[in-house]
Structure 1
Amino acid sequence: MQGYNVVMIYSRDMGRLLMCKRSKNPYQGLSNLVGGKIEFGEAGMDAAYRELFEETGISKEDVILHHLMDFTYYFQACYVEVYVGKLERDVPVYGDENELYWSDLNQDFFDMSLYAGEGNIGHMIEQVNMSKNIIFTD
């Protein structure tokens, strides 16, 4: 079963979420979270930090990631690990795989005509909202 990850990065004030505009299929042209493939034998957290750095330039020194949840898709023989973090300091983001941007949180993240993942992004944001006082204790 192939593993993937998505990484939810919030701004320091929790007012914005880092998103990307998908440049290829699946979900070409839709907004998505950053992430990628977990390599064989790689720990999930290590893969999340690696993908985050490769796609955005954000490093372990910039954010502490927390393992939020997992999705298992048995018929597609894959699973997705979901990580969340809040920037420790303002850092420039850059990447050449997809266009990166900061989204305010007053969006309908369940709108499948705009966002990838069949509503999963909205679900993940709601889970963070329900648990942010536990996740981000600073």
Structure 2
Amino acid sequence: MQGYNVLMIYNKDMDKLLMCKRLRNPYKGLSNLVGGKIEHGETGITAAYRELFEETGISSKDIVLHHLMDFKYYVQKCYVEVYVGKLKHDVAVFGDENELYWSDLNEDFFDMSVFAGEGNIGHMIEQVKMAEGQIFTDHHDD
């Protein structure tokens, strides 16, 4: 079963979320979170930090990622691990795979004509809102 990750990267004030405009399928032309494939033999968290750096230039010095949830798709034979993090400071992001931008959180992330993931991004944002205090404590343990 192939593994993928999706990375919810918030700015340090927690009022913007890093998104990308997909340049190719799936979801070409739609906005999505950054992420990628978990390589064979790689742990989920290692893959998350690797993909984050490859796609955005954000390193483990800039952010702590927390494993939020997983989605398992039996028909498609894949699973998606979701990680969330809040930047410790402002970081200039860059990536050549997709066009990166910071989205305000007042968007309708359930709008499938704009956002990838069949409403999953909206669901994930709501989960972060509900558990923000637990996720982003200084002594949080993964």
TM-score w.r.t. length of structure 2: 0.96
Deviation per residue, 1:49-83 (Å, 9 max, x gap): 00000000000000000000000000000000000
Cα distance in structure 1, aligned partners of 2:130 and 2:73: 24
**Cross-structure match for 2:82:** 82
**Cross-structure match for 1:65:** 65
Cα distance in structure 2, aligned partners of 1:104 and 1:87: 15
Q: Which runs of 5+ in 2 are unaligned?
A: none
Cα distance in structure 1, aligned partners of 2:53 and 2:71: 23
**Cross-structure match for 1:41:** 41
Q: Which runs of 5+ in 1 are unaligned?
A: none
**Cross-structure match for 1:97:** 97
Displacement of 1:105: 0.2
Cα distance in structure 1, aligned partners of 2:18 and 2:91: 12
After superposing on structure 2, the runs of 4+ consecutive aligned residues of structure 1 that deviate more than 2 Å are none
Letter in 1 for 2:136: F
3-state SS of 1:65 partner: strand
Q: How many residues align?
A: 138
Query: Cα RMSD (Å) of the superposition?
Result: 0.5
Letter in 1 for 2:6: V
3-state SS of 1:122 partner: helix
Displacement of 1:137: 1.4
